[in-house]
Amino acid sequence: MEKRLKIHLTGAVQGVGFRPFVYNLAKKLNLKGYVINDTYGVIIEIQGKEKDINQFLISIHTEKPPLAHIFSQEIEQLPQAKFKDFEIRSSKAVGKKEVFILPDISTCEECLKELNDPKNRRYRYPFINCTNCGPRFTIIEKLPYDRPNTTMKKFKMCLDCESEYNNPEDRRFHAQPNACPVCGPYITLYTSDKKLVSEKQQALKDTVALLKEGKILAIKGIGGFHLVCDAS
């Protein structure tokens, strides 16, 4: 016997890979419906065999992404609908905004491996990130947490990044800061009176040279500036 449920989850469930996790779990269990972000958290409508739905309800808590934290869960039983498949729908921005936004997360092990792999297209790219790490709080401008609502909206993704962003099986699926050296932000070096000195890898080389000369530099990181010098 089939049944249909509406599940409303609140907590740290946006910007952590929760929607692709739900999508893949539903496909694995042959369930139909949709998942969507709203201003409170995540809404899931699921329809299928009762045993598969029961397994789904257990798995969203026991197998959820490492950064996800569910604070509350509301379940409503609904009449059956004619869902063709399971899909990830565009976010809703209606209602009071109460969703929990994660702080910025340090670079994960998978991104660190890519960062140090000369064969990877993000080799030494300082703004590397995925759904398991990277900036959150410092880039968001409004809810729900989607790219158009962040400071990353002005960076149009290249074809490779867009492919990752739209692939529910990729760990960068809907990673809002997703970028690479081709399409994303890059480092620049300025003088103290705001004159551009150099960009990208040349800026990094010039920074090293200035430090060796005994200069003091202000390096902008996530959430603020670090003063850097040769301590010897």
pLDDT at residue number 9: 95
114 in helix, strand or coil? helix
CB atoms within 10 A of CB 181: 18
Tokens of 159: 């074809």
Q: Is residue 199 part of a domain?
A: yes
pLDDT at residue number 30: 96
pLDDT at residue number 223: 67
With 0-12 CB in 10 A as exposed, 13-18 as middle and 19+ as buried, what is 216? Answer: exposed
CA separation for the pair 59, 81 (Å, rounded): 23
Residue spans of the chain under pLDDT 70:
93-99, 222-223
Residues 160 and 181 in one domain: yes
Rounded percentage of the chain residues whose pLDDT exceeds 90: 70
- The last residue of one of the domains, among 67, 88, 109, is 88
pLDDT at residue number 94: 62
Tokens of 209: 């040279």
Contact 107, 49 (CB under 8 A): no
pLDDT at residue number 95: 59
| Cα separation values, 67 from 62, 73, 202, Å | 13, 17, 35
For 27-58, how does the pLDDT look when each residue is reduced to its tens digit (9 = 90+)? 999 999 999 988 788 999 999 999 999 999 99
The pTM assigned to this predicted structure is 0.75
223: domain range?
188-228
Residues 81 and 6 in one domain: yes
Q: Is residue 147 part of a domain?
A: yes
CA separation for the pair 135, 176 (Å, rounded): 9
Residues 166 and 203 in one domain: no
